[in-house]
């Protein structure tokens, strides 16, 4: 069964409809690329999955469980939403690292706060915190940042910052990791190091949704791809098929602009 | 736009109306506050007081409550003063208020059976201090001007005073034979009897916050002369002060052929403390206490004894 | 003798007059200091509460309507549902307080309750101090609240969102993520306000609170056997300069301390 099911999702901002009847599924261990021009609703879709926006209609299910149902207000309670968010991890275009914390603390903070809710926290506080720090260090090592744990975000390059952000999202072991244009805010020479990290995550069968403008990267790394335009899914299929041989005219137009530039 | 503007104007008017009517509101709200007080008195076990208050209230139809009862009920007479040698001042190294007014205020409080508390106030707000019950009496060498007698319930006069002109000593000669103050810039304490006198004599007045500030005006040459109280001038200018080169050049009351000014004590409007004070004072004049205390402070010539 | 002025100065500083005046000014300065501290202790947290109020999105009618599954249709109904009473009330308060002079607020707060027979502040210095403190706390809380609001709204939304997707609670996000960034943003404007507060305390003498300038002025009329002295008033400047100097240094240290992140 699919780990993620999105059914008939719609989102209105006032009178403008940003998402129209979006439905798709994602299998565990697979990577999904969402492509499309800016304003097509890709980012809004990711934000809906992370409960940063409340969809106007539709349902979101993870492992068969209904996380969100626009018709059932009970699924939208702030207290419940908080825990539901943990099914998803989010990597932002602008990193959004916490500037006042060191790299390691950025990675471990959320986990430490969650650990406080554990019944055995008081008794084993020291040990728990040590474990969390250890996990944080090994994540940083995976990102090639083991020598940067004591630095503050402003002391790092953009690419390094985004890798910290990925480690931070991974620290909570989400079921699905979402990337919102992870390289758009980076200088071209820094995108490579971030894409490399995402590629290696894909190789380890991390379930991912990647909103990106890097077409070649999407084709190589993602299993599936969705092309969105004006809030609707225009075309879906394997990443290779959608990007290399699109069936829809709108997809072809969009991609041709990329190959030209 | 018009609507919101008129709304704001209406709000401002309501605000100012509320402040203008505050004094009458205080008296119309008396029935309610009277009830409050009798209940608090009862709570303190002051049975006698609460019953007498009930009597006066029913007798006067609840129109005015007894100020005397209010002061006796709280047990303290708060006397509003400013530092005014020889009326209210402190001896060097002492924290106790002394002076002709201070000593008599202590005696008055004793006669009422209450403690006395001296509270320094800003002179401009003496009426507000009374009305807001921050103090119970203004007793500080206060000249009985029309403004004062209309805003407070004032006692019989008890002391004489005059307004004097103060000028730099080196220019004193030029001011001695004046008959009017026209063309002069005269520093006065805002709201004081001196301001009235100076205005009456055609001066261009500079109203400042205190008589001391008026002297500073002259010393710094921002004003030509200042008008202050005769009784105060003795302590504030001349040898041993910062104004050694200022001198008293004329008595304005003499210049205008006016009688001397009179000092009185001020209570809240309609207060029955005024009668209590007049009675107390007559008694103290009769038994010689007033003259005795006045002599202590060098006021034997100024105090009224008839 | 070139040294004569120095001897004269030393003599003056050793005189009884100087000592008496200094004692009086010290006691006045203590009142100034107390008022400063009470105002800060009260206004710093109260300002935060007011700033939350002025950002409140609580819409009781809109909330009620959504509970009954209603969507407002007409213009009036929409306006009613969009009505945010807490925001309105706090912004009105801030307007009233910032739109009128502090001196006026002190006078009104001290005199009007007694005039209307609502309550009295009592007698003596304590009463005056209490009334003035209330006026100062309220006044400065309103100024602080606007600085806070700017500071909070100046922290990028992305910071909050990052906290949200990491499963943090609202209060965790505020205290662990937003607060320090906000503090860093508001230190310079707050420093300005706090230095102003140092000097604004002198307004309290309008209702005869005996702070340091009152004490300085008192020697003009007479105090402790000295009268007609002007220099004590001018000398109070020394207190303010030292005080604001210390405050400036402390706030500068805080600013420096927060330089570890950007």
Which has the higher per-residue pLDDT, B190 or B8?
B190
Shared domain check, B197 and B287: no
Asked if the C-beta of C140 comes within 8 angstroms of chain B's C-beta atoms, the answer is no
φ and ψ of C40, to 5 deg: -65, -50
> Worst-scoring range by mean pLDDT, A16-25, B3-12, B108-117?
B3-12
What torsion, rounded to 10 degrees, do the Cα atoms A119, A122, A124, A129 define? 100
| Residues ≥6 apart with Cβ < 8 Å to B273 | B67, B68, B71, B136, B137, B153, B267
CA atoms within 13 A on the CB side of B136: 30
Rounded CA separation A227/A164 (Å)? 29
Contact A150/C259 with Cβ under 8 angstroms? no
Shared domain check, B236 and B189: yes
> Worst-scoring range by mean pLDDT, A154-163, A196-205, B156-165, B174-183?
B174-183
Asked if the C-beta of B100 comes within 8 angstroms of chain C's C-beta atoms, the answer is no
Chain C residue numbers with beta carbons less than 8 Å from the beta carbon of A86 are 167
Mean pLDDT over A17-21 rounds to 92
Rounded CA separation B13/B299 (Å)? 49
Band (B57; pLDDT cuts 50, 70, 90): very low
Whether B62 is in a domain gets the answer yes
Please, which chains are in contact with B (at least 3 CB pairs closer than 8 A)?
C
- Does residue B34 carry a pLDDT above 50? no
Which has the higher per-residue pLDDT, A33 or B58?
A33
Which of C35, C11, C13 has the alpha carbon at shortest distance from C22?
C13
Whether B20 is in a domain gets the answer no
Rounded CA separation A141/A156 (Å)? 16
Task: Please judge whether A110 and C159 are an interchain contact, meaning their C-beta atoms are less than 8 angstroms apart.
Answer: no
The model's pLDDT over A139-190, given as tens digits with 9 standing for 90+, comes to 999 999 989 999 999 999 999 999 999 999 999 999 999 999 999 888 888 8
- What's the mean pLDDT when you consider all of chain B? 79
Take residue C93 and report the two structure tokens written for it.
Answer: 């308060």
Shared domain check, B177 and B137: no
- Listed by number, the residues of chain B in 50-79 with a beta carbon closer than 8 Å to a beta carbon of chain C are 76, 78
Chain C residue numbers with beta carbons less than 8 Å from the beta carbon of A109 are 166, 176
As for the ipTM of the complex, it is 0.89
Contact A163/A106 with Cβ under 8 angstroms? no
Most confident of A183-197, B80-94, B206-220, B267-281: B267-281
Shared domain check, B180 and B72: no
Chain C residue numbers with beta carbons less than 8 Å from the beta carbon of A85 are 164-167
Give the CA angle between residues C108, C126, C23 to the nearest 5°.
115
DSSP states of C158-210: HHHHHHHHTT--HHHIIIIIIHHHHHHHHHHHHHHHHHHHHHHGGGGGGGT--
Shared domain check, B198 and B108: no
Task: Please judge whether C114 and B133 are an interchain contact, meaning their C-beta atoms are less than 8 angstroms apart.
Answer: yes
A abuts B (3+ Cβ pairs < 8 Å): no
Residue in A with minimal Cα distance to C156: A96
Q: What is the CA radius of gyration of chain B?
A: 22
Band (B196; pLDDT cuts 50, 70, 90): confident
Rounded CA separation C113/C95 (Å)? 21
Mean pLDDT over A116-123 rounds to 86
Chain B residue numbers with beta carbons less than 8 Å from the beta carbon of C111 are 125, 128-129, 131-132, 134
Shared domain check, B234 and B172: yes
Give the CA angle between residues C241, C246, C252 to the nearest 5°.
120
Which of C135, C49, C143 has the alpha carbon at shortest distance from C99?
C143
Compute CA distances B21 → A196, C81, C157, whole Å.
79, 38, 50
φ and ψ of A32, to 5 deg: -115, 130
Whether B31 is in a domain gets the answer no
Mean pLDDT over B192-197 rounds to 84
Shared domain check, B77 and B157: yes
The model's pLDDT over A207-222, given as tens digits with 9 standing for 90+, comes to 999 999 889 899 989 9
The helix (H) or strand (E) run that includes residue B205 is strand B204-208
Q: What is the pLDDT of residue B232?
A: 82
Shared domain check, B132 and B182: no
Mutation to test the C interface, candidates A43, A79, A113, A174, most C Cβ within 10 Å: A113
Chain C residue numbers with beta carbons less than 8 Å from the beta carbon of B30 are 117
pTM of the model: 0.76
Domain boundary among B255, B272, B295: B255
Strand residues in chain C grouped as ranges (E) = none
Q: Measure CB to CB from residue A99 to each of C161, C176, C262 and give the nearest one.
A: C262
Does B86 sit behind a cis peptide bond, omega within 30 degrees of 0 on the bond before it?
Answer: yes
Which has the higher per-residue pLDDT, C185 or B237?
C185
- Does residue A138 carry a pLDDT above 50? yes
Q: What is the pLDDT of residue B86?
A: 84
Asked if the C-beta of B240 comes within 8 angstroms of chain C's C-beta atoms, the answer is yes
Delineate the domains of chain C, giving CATH numbers in brackets. 4-51+120-260 (1.10.3720.10)
Chain B residue numbers with beta carbons less than 8 Å from the beta carbon of C116 are 22, 25-26, 29
Mean pLDDT over B246-251 rounds to 88
Q: How many domains does chain B have?
A: 2
Delineate the domains of chain A, giving CATH numbers in brackets. 4-260 (3.40.50.300)
Rounded CA separation C112/B134 (Å)? 10
Q: What is the pLDDT of residue B64?
A: 56
Whether B8 is in a domain gets the answer no
Write the CATH number for B212.
Answer: 3.40.190.10
The backbone region for A164, taken as left when phi is positive above 0, alpha when psi lies in -120 to 50, beta otherwise, is alpha
- Does residue A32 carry a pLDDT above 80? yes
Which has the higher per-residue pLDDT, C7 or B7?
C7
Q: Measure CB to CB from residue B134 to each of C116, C123, C220 and give the nearest one.
A: C123
What 3-state class would DSSP assign to A177? strand
Shared domain check, B71 and B219: no
Take residue A139 and report the two structure tokens written for it.
Answer: 């994540």
Asked if the C-beta of C218 comes within 8 angstroms of chain A's C-beta atoms, the answer is no
Task: Please judge whether B121 and C208 are an interchain contact, meaning their C-beta atoms are less than 8 angstroms apart.
Answer: yes
Task: Please judge whether C221 and B25 are an interchain contact, meaning their C-beta atoms are less than 8 angstroms apart.
Answer: no
Task: Please judge whether C162 and A97 are an interchain contact, meaning their C-beta atoms are less than 8 angstroms apart.
Answer: yes
Shared domain check, B236 and B216: yes
The number of beta carbons lying within 10 Å of the beta carbon of residue A218 is 22
- Listed by number, the residues of chain C in 154-193 with a beta carbon closer than 8 Å to a beta carbon of chain A are 156, 158-159, 161-170, 172, 176-177, 180-181, 184
Which has the higher per-residue pLDDT, B242 or A172?
A172
Chain B residue numbers with beta carbons less than 8 Å from the beta carbon of C114 are 131-134
Three-state SS for B84-108 is ECCCEEECCCCCCEECHHHHHHHHH
Residue in C with minimal Cα distance to B124: C206
Domain that holds residue B194: 163-255
Q: Measure CB to CB from residue C227 to each of B76, B132, B241 and give the nearest one.
A: B241
Take residue B237 and report the two structure tokens written for it.
Answer: 């200018």
Q: What is the pLDDT of residue B6?
A: 53
Band (B258; pLDDT cuts 50, 70, 90): confident
Task: Please judge whether B89 and C116 are an interchain contact, meaning their C-beta atoms are less than 8 angstroms apart.
Answer: no
| Nearest-neighbour CA in chain C from B287: distance (Å) | 31
- What's the mean pLDDT when you consider all of chain A? 90
Domain boundary among B216, B231, B255: B255
- Listed by number, the residues of chain C in 71-110 with a beta carbon closer than 8 Å to a beta carbon of chain A are none
Task: Please judge whether B242 and C20 are an interchain contact, meaning their C-beta atoms are less than 8 angstroms apart.
Answer: no
Q: Is the dihedral of CA B150, B155, B157, B159 positive or negative?
A: negative
Take residue C205 and report the two structure tokens written for it.
Answer: 């003498």
Q: Measure CB to CB from residue C166 to each of A78, A110, A152 and give the nearest one.
A: A110
Share of residues in chain B with pLDDT > 90 (%): 34
Contact A165/A97 with Cβ under 8 angstroms? yes
pLDDT in tens, chain C (262 residues): 677 888 888 888 888 888 888 988 999 999 999 999 999 999 999 999 999 998 888 888 888 877 776 777 778 888 888 888 898 999 999 999 999 999 999 999 988 888 888 888 876 778 889 999 999 999 999 999 999 999 999 999 999 999 999 999 989 999 999 999 999 999 999 999 999 999 999 999 888 888 999 888 888 777 777 777 888 899 999 999 999 999 999 999 999 999 988 8
- Does residue B18 carry a pLDDT above 60? no
The number of beta carbons lying within 10 Å of the beta carbon of residue B170 is 9
Shared domain check, B142 and B231: no
Task: Please judge whether A110 and C161 are an interchain contact, meaning their C-beta atoms are less than 8 angstroms apart.
Answer: no
Helix axes A103-115, A125-142, angle to 10 degrees: 140
- Does residue B55 carry a pLDDT above 50? no
Task: Please judge whether C115 and B128 are an interchain contact, meaning their C-beta atoms are less than 8 angstroms apart.
Answer: yes
Rounded CA separation A48/B248 (Å)? 86
Contact B30/B63 with Cβ under 8 angstroms? yes
Shared domain check, B202 and B65: no
A abuts C (3+ Cβ pairs < 8 Å): yes
- Listed by number, the residues of chain C in 88-127 with a beta carbon closer than 8 Å to a beta carbon of chain B are 107-108, 110-117, 120-121, 123-125, 127
Q: What is the pLDDT of residue A15?
A: 82
């Amino acid at each position: 069964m699919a780990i993620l099911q999105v059914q008939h999702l719609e989102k209105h901002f006032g009178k403008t409809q940003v998402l129209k009847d979006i439905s798709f599924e994602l299998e565990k261990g697979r990577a999904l690329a969402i492509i499309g021009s800016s304003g097509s609703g890709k980012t809004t879709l990711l934000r809906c999955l992370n409960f940063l926006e409340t969809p106007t209609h539709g349902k979101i299910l993870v492992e068969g469980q209904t996380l969100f149902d626009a018709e059932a207000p009970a699924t939208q309670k702030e207290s419940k939403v908080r825990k539901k968010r943990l099914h998803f991890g989010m990597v932002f275009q602008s990193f959004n690292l916490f500037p006042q914390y060191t790299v390691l603390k950025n990675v471990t903070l959320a986990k430490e706060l969650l650990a406080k809710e554990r019944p055995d926290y008081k008794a084993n506080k020291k040990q728990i915190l040590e474990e969390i720090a250890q996990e944080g260090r090994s994540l940083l090592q995976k990102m090639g940042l083991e020598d940067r744990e004591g630095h503050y975000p402003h002391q790092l390059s953009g690419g390094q910052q985004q890798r910290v952000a990925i480690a931070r999202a991974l620290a909570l072991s989400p079921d699905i990791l979402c990337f919102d244009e992870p390289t758009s805010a980076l200088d071209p020479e820094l995108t490579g190091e971030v894409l490399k990290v995402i590629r290696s995550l894909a190789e380890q069968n991390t379930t991912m949704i990647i909103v990106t403008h890097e077409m070649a990267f999407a084709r190589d790394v993602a299993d599936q791809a969705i092309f969105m335009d004006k809030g609707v899914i225009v075309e879906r299929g394997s990443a290779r098929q959608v990007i290399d041989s699109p069936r829809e005219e709108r997809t072809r137009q969009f991609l041709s602009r990329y190959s030209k530039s | 736009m018009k609507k919101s503007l008129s709304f704001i104007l209406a709000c401002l008017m309501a605000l100012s109306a509320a402040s203008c009517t505050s004094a009458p509101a205080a008296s119309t709200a008396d029935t309610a506050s009277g009830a409050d007080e009798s209940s608090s008195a009862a709570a303190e076990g002051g049975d006698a007081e609460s019953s007498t208050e009930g009597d006066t209230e029913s007798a006067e139809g609840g129109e005015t409550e007894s100020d005397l009862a209010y002061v006796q009920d709280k047990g303290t007479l708060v006397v509003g003063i400013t530092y005014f040698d020889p009326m209210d001042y402190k001896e060097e190294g002492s924290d106790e208020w002394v002076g002709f007014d201070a000593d008599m205020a202590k005696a008055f409080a004793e006669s009422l059976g209450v403690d006395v508390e001296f509270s320094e106030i800003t002179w401009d707000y003496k009426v507000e201090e009374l009305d807001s019950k921050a103090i119970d009496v203004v007793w500080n060498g206060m000249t009985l001007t029309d403004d004062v007698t209309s805003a407070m319930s004032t006692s019989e006069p008890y002391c004489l005073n005059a307004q004097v002109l103060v000028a730099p000593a080196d220019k004193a000669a030029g001011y001695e034979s004046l008959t009017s103050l026209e063309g002069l810039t005269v520093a006065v304490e805002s709201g004081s009897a001196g301001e009235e006198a100076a205005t009456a004599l055609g001066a261009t007045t500079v109203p400042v916050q205190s008589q001391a500030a008026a002297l500073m005006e002259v010393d710094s040459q921002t004003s030509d002369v200042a008008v202050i109280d005769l009784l105060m001038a003795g302590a504030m200018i001349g040898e041993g002060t910062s104004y050694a080169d200022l001198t008293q050049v004329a008595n304005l009351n003499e210049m205008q052929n006016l009688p001397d000014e009179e000092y009185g004590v001020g209570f809240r409007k309609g207060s029955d403390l005024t009668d209590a004070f007049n009675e107390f004072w007559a008694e103290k004049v009769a038994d010689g206490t007033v003259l005795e205390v006045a002599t202590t402070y060098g006021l034997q010539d100024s105090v009224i004894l008839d | 003798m070139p040294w004569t002025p120095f001897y004269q100065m030393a003599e003056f500083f050793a005189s009884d007059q100087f000592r008496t005046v200094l004692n009086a000014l010290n006691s006045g300065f203590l009142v100034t200091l107390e008022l400063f501290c009470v105002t800060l202790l009260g206004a710093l947290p109260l300002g935060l509460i007011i700033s939350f109020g002025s950002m409140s999105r609580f819409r009781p009618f809109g909330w009620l309507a959504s509970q009954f599954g209603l969507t407002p249709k007409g213009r009036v109904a929409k306006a009613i549902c969009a009505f945010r009473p807490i925001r309105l009330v706090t912004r009105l308060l801030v307007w009233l307080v910032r739109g009128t002079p502090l001196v006026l607020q002190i006078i009104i707060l001290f005199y009007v309750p007694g005039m209307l027979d609502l309550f009295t502040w009592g007698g003596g210095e304590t009463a005056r101090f209490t009334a003035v403190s209330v006026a100062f706390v309220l006044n400065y809380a309103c100024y602080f609240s606007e600085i806070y609001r700017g500071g909070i709204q100046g922290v990028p939304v992305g910071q909050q969102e990052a906290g949200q997707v990491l499963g943090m609670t609202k209060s965790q996000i505020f205290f662990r993520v937003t607060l320090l960034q906000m503090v860093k943003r508001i230190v310079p404007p707050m420093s300005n306000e706090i230095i102003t507060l140092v000097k604004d305390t002198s307004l309290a003498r309008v209702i005869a609170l005996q702070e340091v300038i009152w004490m300085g002025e008192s020697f003009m009329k007479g105090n402790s056997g000295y009268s007609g002295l002007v220099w004590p008033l001018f000398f109070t400047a020394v207190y303010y300069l030292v005080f604001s100097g210390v405050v400036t240094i402390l706030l500068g240290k805080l600013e420096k301390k927060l330089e570890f992140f950007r």
